[in-house]
Amino acid sequence: MTNTLIGIFGGTFDPIHKGHLACARYVLEHCQLNSVRLMPCHLPPHRATPGVSSAERAKMVQLAIAGEPKMQLESLELNRQAPSYTVDSLLTLKQQHPRQPLAFIIGMDSLQYFKKWHRWQDILQLAHLIVCRRPGYSAEQGDAPALLKEYSGNLQQLTTQEAGVILLLNNPDFAESATFVRQQLPLNTEIQAMLTPAVMQYIRQQRLYGC
């Protein structure tokens, strides 16, 4: 199979920060993708419903990627009135693009509990996983070692196989975290540097996160 990979970066993006953008850029540069679709979830299944609406989170994604020609907003989860299970979104994308392999992008924190994701085996039947390292989260913890032992592969396999390969990247540390941003934003203006100016402006205009 020589078809171009479709990169999908799912997240709560509450809010989108420079760490997300750095991951997407790194994947674009190192995994020979034409584009990465950033897919904000509507109702995250693994955590409390965010205080900021999915429409607002999607708007921030749009603002953050405005100057990134290879990044797009993927809005398919926004209108689904059910928990935003990744497997359902990948099924939809696979129907839309049956001939192209899908690569779902996650950070190491997500890989550590990936076996708790709804129908995780089906996710690996539908897509590859591209994993960005993340400071504070080792590949030796949680579900990561067993998953890497069974599914780990190289870049070439992402295009020669249809799904089921986990590619662990060697990206530098991207320190940003949305939890930290949410906690610190009202207290510490230096945290603003973790966001793009357009996202920060939107947060102020809409008075999000206690700003």
Binding site for ligand ATP (CB under 6 A): 11-14, 19-20, 23, 106-107, 109-110, 132, 134, 174, 176-179
Work out how close the CB of 59 gets to ligand ATP at its nearest, in angstroms, rounded to a whole number.
Answer: 15
Q: Give the HSE-up count for residue 53: Cα atoms under 13 Å, Cβ half-sphere.
A: 6
Beta bridge partner(s), residue 131: 106, 168
**Closest to ligand ATP by CB, 160 or 188:** 188
**Closest to ligand ATP by CB, 20 or 37:** 20
Work out how close the CB of 99 gets to ligand ATP at its nearest, in angstroms, rounded to a whole number.
Answer: 26
Work out how close the CB of 26 gets to ligand ATP at its nearest, in angstroms, rounded to a whole number.
Answer: 9
Work out how close the CB of 1 gets to ligand ATP at its nearest, in angstroms, rounded to a whole number.
Answer: 26
* Cβ atoms of 41 and 14 closer than 8 Å: no
- Nearest residue to ligand ATP by CB is 107
**Closest to ligand ATP by CB, 12 or 159:** 12
Work out how close the CB of 2 gets to ligand ATP at its nearest, in angstroms, rounded to a whole number.
Answer: 28
**Closest to ligand ATP by CB, 84 or 159:** 84
**Closest to ligand ATP by CB, 2 or 179:** 179
Residue 34: phi, psi to the nearest 5? -80, -30
